[in-house]
Chain A
Amino acid sequence: MDGGFAASKFESTVKAQNKGRTLYLASKSPSVPNLNEAFQSDVRPRISPGRGQSQLNVLSVTEELTGSSVIDLYGDEEDEQDEQGDEDEGENQEDEGTDGLASDNPRSFTASPSVSAPAGNISSRDLSHYDRYGFKKHNSHISQEEYHAWWDDYSRYCVRRKRKWQDLLEKSGLVSVNGVPDRFPPRSEKLKRYVRKGIPAEWRGQAWWYFARGQEKLNKNKGVYDKLLAAASERSGKASGRDLEVIERDLHRTFPENIHFQRQPNDTEEPLMIQSLRRVLVAFSVYNPKIGYCQSMNFLAGLLLLFLDEERTFWMLVIITSRYLPGVHNVNLEGVNVDQGVLMLCVKEYLPDFWPKIVPKQHARNNEFLYKLPPITLCTASWFMSCFVGVVPIETTLRIWDCLFYEESHILFKMSLSMLKICEQDIAAARQNNRALRSRTLSKDDEDIEIFQAIQTTPKKLLDPQQIFDRILFKRRFSLNNLNQEEIDRCRKYVTSQRLKLKNYADIMGNRPSANENAKRDIKMGPEFVESALSSEIYGFRRSLTAAHWNNSIKEKVRQIRRK
């Protein structure tokens, strides 16, 4: 498939879309995962037996709802018995009534009515295998039984949490339009706690948009998305053919297991979701040529499309790639290397027992690992690039995204540290259970494989978000919870400058006439090399870059926090 083909395909969808202009405007959100039927047929009856009949109307109600997607999934009013058990969520003692009305976003959001997914197509399939977002419930890591056992509890938890949210909004004097709030209370410790415990699924799109200040961005860029689409369809040459080609290849490799991304047997057209995804990604590649298209953005946009309309998905993608993950998707991927360097610094600081297992001793010296990233970062890089989409099961991903938009990027580092901690525990547990392993001392190679394997598979089994949220994120005793945004910002700056310094130095060394052009630069980066680069006076100052230097700044930070 060449770029030309991709472009012409894009043109035709834009044309089709222009022909039905009104239709397009009204339905900018083809995205809506109204898998209510699926959801009801499977879970609903178990949550609220005896209310099954009334659910048949839900689909028609959806048409009038605001931009958000998944609707009334839990049955709010029933299940009084679920009230019990809330003490473990620990909110009863919270201060109340301090929440006022947020005024930073006075413009009320005008949502386009959502369009139900063509029910006819979907109902022809066995929907009981799909969750409320259209993802397959079980896979090679999670059995159907495991899924149901977990969902039985977790869906009740979601009902309880939604009720809490409703109370909170009411107390804050916020009304919801057709069941979906368009504004949220101002930032507070309490709200943060609520967000960490999960935003109600049917409000997620709206909440993410609100917390990430999407409307602000959109207001400054009115009409830009449509112009980008027009520009792309005219093939103004801004979108590189190469990007279009890769986008085209990735469209059907984005959530191929999700029902909304699949072509139904009798469909002649592509799924609406795929068409939207193409438009968002192509528009983005025109909008930001520094990034163009980077594999992994298909998953970011794909997930956003399940919760937001196309235009808002586009702006959220802009926000994610610039505010939360600066440089990560750029053509040279330097942002990936920087963030992985930062993550390694964090591991060293917060998971000191795990640290020696992943970074060879000689690379730990002089922070050489910032330049020569350890192999483990090959796995962890994708955690950042796709913000955990596809790394952990969907409900866990969504809980991470809730926090991301409220707490910004340091949450990705915190999650990564938590994940590594769980991996570490898994490895230890596996050894305990395996007598052969316990009695044998593993070679370094075996140990490496053990770690890589755990890092690869452990996250995929994190079906229950509580495993990470309750057991780690809410536990004060884990020092990694001290990590904050300021620290990450500082580390990012530090790693960026260190890498730049080493790169410049390597360039200078490499360009000396005596140096062999084809010399293996990687091998040349020995300890002496790094040492001379980092303590070099070429750059005007001499600095000691021992780990202690960096750690002290963290300790100081922690002290400050404690004082507060």
Chain B
Amino acid sequence: MLQFKLVLLGDSSVGKSSIVHRFVKDSFDEFRESTIGAAFLSQTVKLGKHDDVTIKFEIWDTAGQERYKSLAPMYYRNANAALIVYDVTQPGSLLKAQSWVEELKHKVGDQDLVICLVGNKLDLCAEDPNARQVDIDDAQAYAQEKHLLFHEVSAKTGVGVAQIFQEMGEKVYEQKTAESAAAAASRPRKAVNVELQRPSTNDSTTCCA
């Protein structure tokens, strides 16, 4: 099974852990303990668009506080996908999300990294129309400009959560297959590259130091 590494980034208490728990366990807690360091989860996704092929996400859920940013390179090293979350009721959290986008584009510099910008807590807007502080058009425009996937979701009600992972799964899968095909075409036949089988950690096959 193809495996892909996905990291969750974003300001503290925007709902990163809640989104993952909705996706992996289909559950929600109003008060969830703050994540310290990082939590690891994995979940498979069936890609209907690609003959029901199943892929596995290796998900790293991270702590949101600013200072944890110094550990971030450890998270996104070799990541295939990043989910950057903000809270639609907290304009400051969108700024934080944008700085994450910049950081990833800058430091990782990997054109293949699939980034999805996600506005969470949509349920609060349904309860109270005045709760919304981030305009969906603004966020969407930003996402388009930076070539990001974009969704608004509610981890509480579950709206939109499955779609994020579905879409990201398709995108990373398409990239992987395209990449493999291109590599196969450009390489002389005898040099079979084992690394192609290994999307998430390209470190460890290059053996013997």
* Alpha-carbon distance between A362 and B67 when the two chains are bound, in angstroms: 29
Rounded to whole Å, the gap between the CB of B30 and the closest CB of chain A is 8
* Alpha-carbon distance between A298 and B63 when the two chains are bound, in angstroms: 14
A377 at the interface (CB under 8 A from B): yes
B206 at the interface (CB under 8 A from A): yes
A378 touches B74 (CB 8 A): yes
Rounded to whole Å, the gap between the CB of B149 and the closest CB of chain A is 24
Residue of chain B at shortest CB distance from A368:
B209
A332 touches B67 (CB 8 A): yes
Q: Which of B3, B40, B66, B73 is most buried by chain A, counting CB atoms within 10 A of its CB? A: B40
Rounded to whole Å, the gap between the CB of A375 and the closest CB of chain B is 7
Which secondary structure dominates chain B's binding surface? loop
Given the known A-B contacts A378-B38, A453-B40, A522-B73, are A360 and B204 also in contact in the complex, defined by CB atoms under 8 Å? yes
Size band of the A side of the interface?
35 or more
| CB interface residues, A 332-384, toward B, < 8 Å | 332-334, 336-337, 360-365, 373, 375, 377-379, 381-382
CB-CB under 8 A from A253, the residues of chain B are: 13, 31-34
B34 touches A456 (CB 8 A): no
B207 at the interface (CB under 8 A from A): yes
Given the known A-B contacts A361-B204, A444-B204, are A527 and B34 also in contact in the complex, defined by CB atoms under 8 Å? no
Partner of B67, one of A254, A294, A382, A446: A294
* Alpha-carbon distance between A271 and B68 when the two chains are bound, in angstroms: 29
Size band of the B side of the interface?
35 or more
B203 touches A362 (CB 8 A): yes
A429 at the interface (CB under 8 A from B): no
CB-CB under 8 A from A522, the residues of chain B are: 73, 77, 107
Beta-carbon contacts of A185-229 to B below 8 Å, as 1s and 0s? 000000000000000000000000000000000000000000000
A527 touches B36 (CB 8 A): no
CB-CB under 8 A from B68, the residues of chain A are: 295, 333
CB-CB under 8 A from A455, the residues of chain B are: 40
Partner of A448, one of B36, B109, B201: B201
Q: Which of B63, B65, B107, B205 is most buried by chain A, counting CB atoms within 10 A of its CB? A: B65
Q: Which of A373, A445, A448, A453 is most buried by chain B, counting CB atoms within 10 A of its CB? A: A445
- CB-based closest 9 A-B pairs: A256-B31, A382-B37, A382-B36, A381-B37, A378-B38, A452-B40, A360-B204, A296-B36, A253-B34
A–B Cβ pairs within 8 angstroms, 12 of them: A330-B67, A361-B208, A377-B74, A378-B37, A381-B37, A382-B38, A385-B36, A443-B197, A444-B205, A456-B40, A518-B106, A518-B109
